[in-house]
Structure formats: structure tokens, C-alpha cells
């Protein structure tokens, strides 16, 4: 069968956006890179993705600021995921695409499973190498697949929040299906488009996320390769993701749950149109709230300098005049400025004397709320924009 061809028609235009993970020093303001962020749709394959993609070297560089291991909730998530996927690890190796700082490689090690990481951002790859993990610091290519296969048989390929980053997605799936062969499985989890549409969580849309997955799209790409999604489950890690299990059609029969989720994916174009309208409404209401608080003289800050928050602040035009600073626990982000809007980022120790905190890390709300007793007891309130802008 012919491999699929994807052609995206522009649907939602967000205007100029900076690179969401490129935290800046003042000296870097003048050279900041912006691109037109436009979400597109291909009716033939149901692909939803960025019409203008950013060259990977602008995003995954040697000062990449996202370290998975900095969040305790993420450590727990990866440990639980490794335990759950253990039956798929079989007798072969596990390959983790986008192994970041080795948070999950560590979990596999503890479980006694040989795991190889593939991680193109050299600085985060170095962190996991220094912890003794086997890491190939490159993008996934046919050559890298060969290199892995020369080291042994692969039972499981896993990728969390990485597959949606890969512009050459069909070629990427070709590499992975070669790695797993007829027996192995590929399990991946990424933001699920139906969640974005339902929650108006448009802040999931940023430079690194080239694709917004549906089962319909993944199956369209896999079908000509002889593979399909045979299982799936919904997870809440990053505010609504679908974990999909891919295997060869002859060896992995489809579980009924896949059909149940597929049934929710009717009328994707209608959902995109609704999302477009809801994003505009969300911006208007959020700005009303923040402008009102400013008029009342309230002290507002941002909580968690996330990539998602970069989209909200830049799309809505929320600079330091509305949110004077953002707190974050990640040392490499502290002392830097938020992309595009140039809001200063300060350590979480400076999270005090604040009336309202905007949850840029809204997906970690439970963990955050539980750790910020003092803030709430002092009368502090959270602001969120998901699913609609409001004060909690």
C-alpha cells in the first residue's frame, strides 16, 4: 500500500509566537525567534498539526530547559507506567524515545530491564548519561534504528510527549515499526486532540507539538505499514492524553476500548471550528479577569513557567503589566525571562505576598494546591483558564 501523504489546511491562526522552551536572558531579547503559529487539518488522514513548523535546532538545543525529573508527580508517573508496561518488556530491550534526563530509564533500571534512551537534546541526555544510562543523543532515524537493533532485540518502544514532536511522523513510525517487528509493541502518550477541544486547552498547542493526535490519524498512518492501535487508555498527566498501544495487525488483535474511543472522534472538523470560537472567548474572559484584578490593586503572579503558559501569555498579550513575575522550581529557568512577553522568572521561595496566582501548570493543580497551604490560608486564590477562565 502507498504510504500516506499529509496536507494541512490552515484552520486556527494564533499569530506570532516565540519558542515555548527558549527562556531568555536580557541580552537574548533582540535575537528572539518568532514564527506564525497556525493549526491545520487534513481531511484525508485526520492529521491536525502546525502548518509552519520550527526547525528542531531552535527547540531541542543544548540549553533546553525542560527537565522531566524536576517534578515528583512525573517521577511517580513514569515509575507506575514502567510497572504497568513490564509485561510488554518481554525478554528484549526497552527503547525510550525522548528519554530526557533519564527519569524513566531509572525506573526500568530499578525493575531490572535493559533500556536504551534516544534523546537529541545534548544537555538533558548528558544528565542521564552521568547517571549511568545507555543513551543515544540523536533524533530517531533509520540509522539510529539500525544502531539499536545491532545492540539487541527490542520488545517495547515507549515515548511520552515526544511522538507529537516529530515532523516526519510517517518516517518515524516506519523506524519504530521496524524496531518492534511483528511481536513487539510501541506505546506512546501525547496530548489528545479531543481533550484540547473539550477543555479549550489551546495552550497544548506550541512549537514542539507538531501533531495533535487522534486514533483516526494514527491508524491512517499505520494502516499501510500493516500495524494498528490495538489498545488505548486515557490519562491526565499533561491535562488529557491518550496512551496508545501499537502492534502488528496479525499479532495484536484490537481491544473493544479502541472502538469506544474512535466513536468519540466523529466530526473532527466541527470540533476544530468550535475550538476556534472557544479560544477567542477564553482570551476575552481571561483578560477581563486580569484587568479587573489589576484595577483593584491585587498582586498577581504566574505559577510554573510552563511551555503552555508561554502560549497563553503571548496569545492573550499578558505581559509583566498584568502578571509581574512567574515562580518556578526549575533552577535553569530562574533569573531568566519568559519567551515573547519577557516576564521575569523567580524561584518558588519568592512566592509570597501574592493575592492571586495564575496556574500556568494547571495540569499539576492537585500537587501544587497540596503544597501551597500557606498561600491558601493567607487568602490566596488560584486563577485558571481551563476549561474556562475563572478564579478557583
Q: Which residue is nearest to ligand TMP (CB)?
A: 304
Q: Kindly state the number of chain residues that form the binding site for ligand TMP, as judged by CB under 6 A.
A: 17
Min CB(308)–ligand TMP separation in Å: 6
Which residue in the set 272, 361, 383, 386 belongs to the binding site for ligand TMP (CB under 6 A)?
361
Which residue in the set 348, 350, 381, 387 belongs to the binding site for ligand TMP (CB under 6 A)?
348
**By CB under 6 A, residue 304 contacts ligand TMP:** yes
| Rounded Cα–Cα distance for residues 76 and 59 (Å) | 26
Alpha carbons within 13 A on the beta-carbon side of 133: 32
The CA-based angle 94-99-103, given to 5 degrees, is: 95
User: Per-residue x/- mask for ligand TMP, residues 313 to 342, rule CB under 6 A?
Assistant: ---------------xxx--x---------
**By CB under 6 A, residue 368 contacts ligand TMP:** yes
Contact, 309 vs 203, CB < 8 A? Answer: yes
| Rounded Cα–Cα distance for residues 282 and 341 (Å) | 19
Q: What are the C-alpha distances in Å from 10 to residues 213, 276, 334?
A: 17, 12, 36
Which residue in the set 28, 53, 70, 384 belongs to the binding site for ligand TMP (CB under 6 A)?
70
| Rounded Cα–Cα distance for residues 205 and 184 (Å) | 31
Burial (CB count <10 Å: 0-12, 13-18, 19+), residue 183: middle
Nearer to ligand TMP, 177 or 306 (CB): 306
Residue ranges in 133-152 that form contacts with ligand TMP under rule CB under 6 A? none
Strand 185-191 relative to strand 241-248: parallel, antiparallel, unpaired?
A: antiparallel
Nearer to ligand TMP, 243 or 333 (CB): 333
Q: What are the C-alpha distances in Å from 273 to residues 50, 130, 269?
A: 16, 47, 6
Which residue in the set 173, 246, 305, 323 belongs to the binding site for ligand TMP (CB under 6 A)?
305
Which residue in the set 28, 53, 71, 384 belongs to the binding site for ligand TMP (CB under 6 A)?
71
* Part in contact with ligand TMP (CB under 6 A); list of ranges 202-210, 294-302, 317-325, 362-370: 362-370
Min CB(305)–ligand TMP separation in Å: 5
* Part in contact with ligand TMP (CB under 6 A); list of ranges 107-115, 289-297, 311-319, 363-371: 363-371
Nearer to ligand TMP, 77 or 283 (CB): 77
* Part in contact with ligand TMP (CB under 6 A); list of ranges 172-180, 187-195, 304-312, 379-387: 304-312
* Part in contact with ligand TMP (CB under 6 A); list of ranges 26-34, 125-133, 269-277, 358-366: 358-366
Nearer to ligand TMP, 96 or 203 (CB): 203
**By CB under 6 A, residue 367 contacts ligand TMP:** yes
**By CB under 6 A, residue 121 contacts ligand TMP:** no
* Polymer length in residues for the chain: 392
* Part in contact with ligand TMP (CB under 6 A); list of ranges 53-61, 97-105, 117-125, 302-310: 302-310
**By CB under 6 A, residue 384 contacts ligand TMP:** no
**By CB under 6 A, residue 364 contacts ligand TMP:** yes
| CA-CA-CA-CA dihedral for 53, 49, 156, 61, to nearest 10 | 20
Binding-site ranges for ligand TMP (CB under 6 A): 70-71, 304-307, 328-330, 333, 348, 361, 363-364, 367-368, 371
Amino acid at each position: 500500500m502507498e504510504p500516506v501523504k499529509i496536507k494541512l489546511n490552515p484552520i486556527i491562526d494564533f499569530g506570532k509566537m516565540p519558542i515555548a522552551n527558549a527562556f531568555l536572558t536580557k541580552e537574548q531579547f533582540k535575537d528572539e525567534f518568532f514564527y506564525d503559529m497556525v493549526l491545520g487539518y487534513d481531511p484525508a488522514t485526520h492529521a491536525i498539526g502546525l502548518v509552519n513548523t520550527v526547525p528542531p535546532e531552535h527547540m531541542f538545543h543544548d540549553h533546553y530547559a525542560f527537565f522531566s525529573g524536576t517534578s515528583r508527580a512525573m517521577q511517580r508517573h513514569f515509575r507506575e507506567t514502567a510497572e504497568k508496561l513490564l509485561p510488554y518488556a518481554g525478554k528484549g530491550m526497552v527503547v525510550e524515545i525522548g528519554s530526557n534526563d533519564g527519569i524513566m530509564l531509572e525506573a526500568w533500571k530499578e525493575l531490572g530491564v535493559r533500556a536504551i534512551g534516544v534523546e537529541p537534546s545534548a544537555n538533558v541526555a548528558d544528565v542521564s548519561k552521568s547517571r549511568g544510562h545507555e543513551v543515544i543523543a540523536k533524533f530517531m532515524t533509520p540509522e539510529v534504528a539500525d544502531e539499536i537493533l545491532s545492540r539487541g532485540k527490542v520488545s517495547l518502544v515507549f515515548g511520552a510527549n515526544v511522538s507529537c514532536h516529530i515532523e516526519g511522523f510517517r518516517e518515524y513510525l516506519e523506524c519504530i515499526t521496524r524496531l518492534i517487528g511483528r511481536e513487539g509493541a510501541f506505546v506512546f502518550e501525547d496530548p489528545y486532540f479531543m481533550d484540547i477541544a473539550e477543555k479549550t486547552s489551546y495552550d497544548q498547542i506550541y512549537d514542539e507539538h507538531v501533531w495533535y493526535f487522534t486514533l483516526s490519524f494514527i491508524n491512517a498512518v499505520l494502516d499501510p505499514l500493516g500495524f494498528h492501535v490495538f489498545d488505548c487508555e486515557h490519562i491526565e498527566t499533561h491535562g488529557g492524553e491518550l496512551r496508545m498501544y501499537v502492534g502488528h495487525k496479525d499479532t495484536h488483535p484490537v481491544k473493544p476500548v479502541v472502538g469506544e474511543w474512535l466513536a468519540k472522534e466523529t466530526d473532527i472538523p466541527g470540533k476544530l471550528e468550535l475550538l476556534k470560537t472557544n479560544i477567542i472567548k477564553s482570551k476575552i474572559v481571561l483578560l477581563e479577569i486580569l484587568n479587573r484584578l489589576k484595577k483593584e490593586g491585587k498582586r498577581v503572579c504566574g505559577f510554573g513557567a510552563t511551555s503552555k503558559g508561554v502560549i497563553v501569555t503571548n496569545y492573550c498579550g499578558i505581559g509583566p503589566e498584568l502578571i509581574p513575575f512567574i515562580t518556578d522550581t526549575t533552577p535553569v529557568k530562574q533569573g531568566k525571562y519568559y519567551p515573547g512577553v519577557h516576564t521575569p522568572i523567580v524561584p518558588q521561595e519568592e512566592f509570597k505576598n501574592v493575592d492571586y496566582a495564575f496556574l500556568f501548570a494547571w495540569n499539576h493543580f492537585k500537587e501544587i494546591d497540596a503544597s501551597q497551604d500557606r498561600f491558601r490560608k493567607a487568602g490566596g486564590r488560584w486563577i485558571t483558564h481551563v476549561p474556562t477562565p475563572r478564579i478557583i
